[in-house]
Amino acid sequence: MGDPSPPPDATDIMTVVHEAIGGIELEPGEKREIWRFTQRELPYLLSQQTSYFILGSYRDPYIRRLRAMQNELTKQLGAYPFVMGDLLELPTERLNSFDIMFSLLATYSDYIIGVFEKESGGEAPELGEIDDSPYFDKSYVFPRDYAWVTDENHESKHHVVQAALEIAFTDDLSKDDVRSKIDSLVDRARDNGIDIDDQEMLNLIEDRADEGAEPATYSWVHLNKFRKFELHTRCFPWTTEEELRAAVDELPSPTPRPEWEVGDR
């Protein structure tokens, strides 16, 4: 198999690559591997009506939620949802291949989606990449159990759910204490105009206990980044996988590309 030749938009691609690696001069073999990656992945990505680059943890059980997001998007005609781990690897011993692949995929994708359930792992630096230019305007985040810090009255159902989970997973409380505190929490939420059912809350807690998943916790840095997306109406908290699947409807739907854009490509 012969060496891949530079694509027509090689200059634009190299601009992205050089920004990703800090302007380091590429060796001939590294350029060939980059052309091979771009010729394999970018044309298919660009040929779809709408592409969604899904970020998150590849470890079990978190990967299951990434697949749930991917499966829901796949149901939409013209959607191409993908995770980087499924694509062709970019073998470069000297360079950071992740930075190159991430920058190329993020640049040429229509939308970037981050699914978060914890504050550690590879998805943490990814959040730092997408909360600013040039990726922020096309990025959306889905943090599990997230609720912006607020007063004790609780502003939304997500705040109430977060508080209930914290109560349920407190080690020094008996089952009766947990039930009593959650009943009180639900009553206060209803007094504040929040539509919530105590049995629904107890079922949610029971499901989380069966799952073995304690409430997700995030650093102040994470919370502030989620808040930035929230203020731009591109942050969608979730608690259960069913809620995550339903939240996919909040994303922009696949749309036909403009004739001028299709022609240029």
For the chain, give every domain's residue range: 10-146+216-264, 157-211
Residue 51 CB partners (closer than 8 Å, separation 6+):
45, 79, 80, 81, 82, 108, 109, 110, 111
> What CA–CA distance (Å, rounded) separates 179 from 18?
57
Taking the model in full, what pTM does it have? 0.80
> What CA–CA distance (Å, rounded) separates 142 from 221?
16
pLDDT digits (tens, 9 = 90+) for 138-186: 999 999 988 876 555 566 777 777 777 776 666 676 777 777 777 777 7
DSSP letter at 76?
S
pLDDT digits (tens, 9 = 90+) for 90-146: 888 888 889 999 999 999 999 999 999 987 767 788 998 999 999 999 999 999 988
| CATH fold of 10-146+216-264 | Rossmann fold (3.40.50)
Cα-flanking dihedrals φ and ψ of residue 116, to 5°?
A: -125, 135
Handedness of CA 9, 87, 50, 131 (dihedral sign): negative
